[in-house]
Amino acid sequence: MKYIDEFRDKKSILSLLEEIKKFSSVEASIMEICGTHTHSVSKYGIRGALSKNIRLISGPGCPVCVTHQADIDAIIDFSRNDKTAVIATFGDMIRVPGTFSTLESERALGSDIRVVYSPLAALDIAKENPSKKVLFYSVGFETTAPTVAASIIEAKARNIKNFTVFSLHKLTPPAMKAILDSGDVLVDGFICPGHVTAIIGASAYEFIARDYGSPCVVSGFEPVDVLYSIYMLLRQLYLGEAKIEIEYERVVSMDGNKKAKEIMAAVFEPRGSAWRGLGLIPGSGLKIRPAFAEFDAEQAFGIKAADSSYVEKPGACACADVLKGRITPFECLLFANPCTPEKPMGPCMVSSEGTCAAYYKYERAS
């Protein structure tokens, strides 16, 4: 397929690995922020192919995984209390364990829970079932938020009254700042998320290079992209530079997608948001603006996104530490036994983009 095959070319991969070896004097911990990058790193054996001086750490880049336990519990409670409502959501969300149940289990007990690929499909369910309340349980970063905003605008234009959104959308740069501020993990450079940055623009990371001295490279998702991005980061670290570079230039610009940003800003406004593992991060969530209050599930049903008052219960699941990059999945006591993709005990094993799922599928033999 065009734009995929040529970025998986074996000759290019081997040449880039040779180029990367030239920076053997650079000791670097590089964090990839996006779950799709985590998946590529594991799937293509990139971690093992690099020499020991380069450590790749996975960050909080899987929206399913960073959704707070209290938010998962809130939607499960809602599904139990109102079995006439339809809850539509992205696939992985129905399997994420809450404290006592999952949406999948609630569906087996009679709640109407449907998996959709697009927020527009949730809107279609509302159009086709005017007598039912349809709640779209919405997670995702800046890549997804404009698609949800466009769906809310469409609902308003078509005067659809039975469609609401429970917005748990999260923003990437505030989470990167929180990781750097926490000092829990040393990060020398970031592989920045390609599709988030297609929307927000690479200039969103300027504060990281300027204030923290960490170079940032916005990367595509194929193995050639990821290796070239690692090469670019090492080159900056070798030269003592800290700047923003874009490897995924065929899709990403410094300014991003102006139209998508406008639509997102018209519907959503920033608010503090609670992340699994990272806690409450100011300005890191998106709330539906008052002008679109009729589509806000928090207003319509009195459910509430998690805030700082909620303390995560300690347990054996180490997803919180995995998400911060403090440990690898191998260091979790539950990893592979008993926690597996078939019977996941934490979100990082549920989501196909979760770090534990990637390690389970591709990295156990190494």
Q: Does 251 bind another protein (CB under 8 A)?
A: yes
Please tell me the distance from the alpha carbon of residue 362 to that of residue 293, in angstroms, as a whole number.
44
Rounded to the nearest whole angstrom, what is the least distance from the CB of residue 118 to another protein in the complex? 3
Q: Does 351 bind another protein (CB under 8 A)?
A: yes
Which of 25, 52, 117, 343 contacts another protein by CB under 8 A?
Answer: 117
Interacting stretch for another protein, rule CB under 8 A, among 24-32, 100-108, 135-143, 323-331?
135-143
Q: Does 71 bind another protein (CB under 8 A)?
A: no
Q: How big is the chain, counted in residues?
A: 366
Please tell me the distance from the alpha carbon of residue 103 to that of residue 63, in angstroms, as a whole number.
17
Quick one: which of 321, 51, 56, 25 has its CA closest to 190? 56
C-beta closer to another protein: residue 91 or 282:
91
Taking each helix axis from N to C terminus, what angle separates 258-267 and 145-157, rounded to the nearest 10 degrees?
60
Rounded to the nearest whole angstrom, what is the least distance from the CB of residue 22 to another protein in the complex? 10
C-beta closer to another protein: residue 102 or 257:
257
User: If you search the block for the tokens 């969103």, which residue do you land on?
Assistant: 204
| Residue 14: HSE in the Cβ half-sphere, 13 Å Cα cutoff | 3
CA distances to 104, 136, 260 from 116, in Å: 14, 9, 21
Q: Does 224 bind another protein (CB under 8 A)?
A: yes
Q: Does 249 bind another protein (CB under 8 A)?
A: yes
Q: How many CB atoms lie within 10 A of CB 354?
A: 30
Element (H, E) at 273: strand 268-275
Rounded to the nearest whole angstrom, what is the least distance from the CB of residue 152 to another protein in the complex? 12
Interacting stretch for another protein, rule CB under 8 A, among 24-32, 95-103, 192-200, 270-278?
192-200
Interacting stretch for another protein, rule CB under 8 A, among 196-204, 286-294, 302-310, 315-323?
196-204
Rounded to the nearest whole angstrom, what is the least distance from the CB of residue 165 to another protein in the complex? 13
Please tell me the distance from the alpha carbon of residue 23 to that of residue 33, in angstroms, as a whole number.
23
Which of 26, 76, 125, 139 contacts another protein by CB under 8 A?
Answer: 139
Do 32 and 56 touch, CB atoms closer than 8 A?
yes
Quick one: which of 266, 262, 284 has its CA closest to 274? 284
Q: Does 349 bind another protein (CB under 8 A)?
A: no
Please tell me the distance from the alpha carbon of residue 71 to that of residue 87, in angstroms, as a whole number.
14
Quick one: which of 159, 168, 142 has its CA closest to 295? 159
Q: Does 95 bind another protein (CB under 8 A)?
A: no
Residues that bind another protein (CB under 8 A): 1-4, 6-7, 11-12, 14-16, 18-19, 34-36, 61-64, 90, 92, 117-121, 139-141, 143-144, 146-147, 150, 193-196, 198-199, 221, 224, 228, 247, 249-252, 257, 259-260, 263, 351, 353
